[in-house]
Structure 1
Amino acid sequence: MRKPFIIANWKMHKNIEESVAFINQIKAALPQVADEEVGIAAQAVALSSMKQTAQGTSLQIIAQNAASELAGPYTGEISARSLADAGASYVMLGHLERRRLFHEDNQIINQKVRSALTTGITPIICTDDKMVQAEVNGEIHYVFDQLKGVLKGVDPAHLQKIVLSYEPSWAVGSSQTANPKVAQQGCHRIRQTVANLYGSLLADQVRILYGGSVNPQNIGTIMAQPDVDGALIGRASLRPDDFLEMVNWQQPVTNVM
């Protein structure tokens, strides 16, 4: 059975002090790692302090990006090796904002995925809603062509631990209500794409998250979908109470403030 994974993506919010304070407010109410995985994707400068604060908890510390190279003359870039040293266990790659604002393409993201795997950091690969029709064994399937390019050359053994995320472009950074049917359809088609590339056995094992307008009011219906294994949450994750409510979506949470 695939373990649920709930992730806060803070983007460029919260400095080091605010990040540490947030963890101190939530860590006593985090679920056991056996039940669910929980992570926070924060700015790189805060990762080491967050890791120290989270010791003794199940909280995963996640980087929001990594360089495509492990070392070299790339001023301003951060190597996956350095992120691993700072305590990051996962790294988000290919987020829609990286593609839109920084013009990252499939080839660049593919290089980043392979570099992260080299260091032992698990990639969380974000994919938007751009699909193409393809014929597979005589049948017409909707295929995430973007995902096909990003996973090029990735060994099937590594795919077992890679996390994928479906982020429809209209939902990222918006206040529109997330549609559970859209979440299920997108995640299902990603799973179908993985099956076409790697086989149905691996496709059934990989975790696929939904990102875009997830909040405390709709996370239960999102998580109830059979192909949705977790959520990548933006603005709704910035308040400790709201984040804990979503982390503990299967049960009520007492106020932590």
Structure 2
Amino acid sequence: MRQQIIAGNWKMHTNLAEATILVEGLKKALAEAKTEREVVVCPPFTGLSTVCDLADETTIRVGAQNMHYEVSGAFTGEVAPTMLTDLGCHYVILGHSERRQYFGDTDELINKKIKAAFANDIVPILCVGESLEQREANETQAFIDSQLEQGLVDLTAEQVGQMVIAYEPIWAIGTGKTATAEQAGEVCTAIRKKVASLFGADAAEAVRIQYGGSVKGSNAKEILSQADIDGALVGGASLKVEDFMAIITA
């Protein structure tokens, strides 16, 4: 059985005081809830050290929101995978639509980062998803297939089985719009089938597939009940303990 994974992407939110309050609250709530789901928080780079320290010896895993593919060098403003492992990061989000749209991350670049993550014992969370125009033109699956084909180039079946793939329809991120549970489940099933065609049945069965896109407590149970959805990548709702816990315990 795949363990469901609920990850909170804090994006460019929280200072150190806010991050501390959030993690301490989450620690207390999780201790009381005793959920079997894996819980991950992904703060901004400035909060990683603090959050890793606070999460140490708890069930909370910590992830970064991005990283460079080189371990060192003259790359001003970038963060190396070795820097993340040094802090205690276990996950890294790669290929988020905001990185693709605003900062020009290409499938080729994301592929380099995924390989670097595995080389440095970090589990990549690969984000894929279509725009509203692509959905309305019935191009959803062709576009996501392309993202998977290019983003997973030269990976092994074992590596793919260990990673997380997050389906995030661009039209549902931060808009308040949410794909129906059936729509989300349909695409996640197609993603698993694509992984099977590329890397075999074992990898497809092992890889965890999340849904992300305005997930909240009121819709989480229905979304997470879909057979091929193994968790959620949560944005705004992960910034409040009560809201995040409503998803974790849905």
Equivalent residue for 1:29?
29
Equivalent residue for 2:102?
101
Equivalent residue for 2:41?
40
Q: How far did residue 131 of structure 1 move?
A: 4.2
In structure 2, the gaps of 5 or more residues are: 131-138
Distance 1:158 1:95 in 2: 20
Q: What SS is found at the alignment partner of 2:218?
A: coil
Contact 2:217/2:243 (<8 A) preserved = yes
Distance 2:144 2:11 in 1: 28
Matched pairs, number: 240
Opposite residue 11 of structure 1, the aligned amino acid is K
Q: What SS is found at the alignment partner of 2:21?
A: helix
Equivalent residue for 2:133?
none
Q: Deviations over 1:27-66 (max 9, x none)?
A: 0221557x21001111011111111111231001010000
Distance 1:26 1:201 in 2: 34
Equivalent residue for 2:16?
16
In structure 1, the gaps of 5 or more residues are: 134-141, 250-257
Q: How far did residue 132 of structure 1 move?
A: 5.4
Q: What SS is found at the alignment partner of 1:13?
A: coil
Equivalent residue for 1:194?
195
Task: Map residues 1-257 of structure 1 onto 2, 5 A cutoff.
Answer: 1-30=1-30, 32=34, 35-129=36-130, 131=140, 133=142, 144-249=145-250
Q: Deviations over 1:63-107 (max 9, x none)?
A: 000002121110000001101111110000000000000011111
Opposite residue 21 of structure 1, the aligned amino acid is I
Contact 2:161/2:205 (<8 A) preserved = no
Q: Which one has a larger percent strand, Structure 1 or Structure 2?
A: 1
Q: How far did residue 16 of structure 1 move?
A: 1.5
Identity across aligned pairs (percent)? 38
Q: Which one has a larger percent helix, Structure 1 or Structure 2?
A: 2
Contact 2:128/2:144 (<8 A) preserved = no
Alignment RMSD (CA, Å): 1.5
Opposite residue 58 of structure 2, the aligned amino acid is T
| TM-score between the two structures when normalised by the length of structure 2 | 0.92
| TM-score between the two structures when normalised by the length of structure 1 | 0.90
Distance 1:188 1:211 in 2: 15
Q: What SS is found at the alignment partner of 1:11?
A: coil
Structure 1 runs, 4 residues or longer, greater than 2 Å off: 129-133
Distance 2:195 2:70 in 1: 26
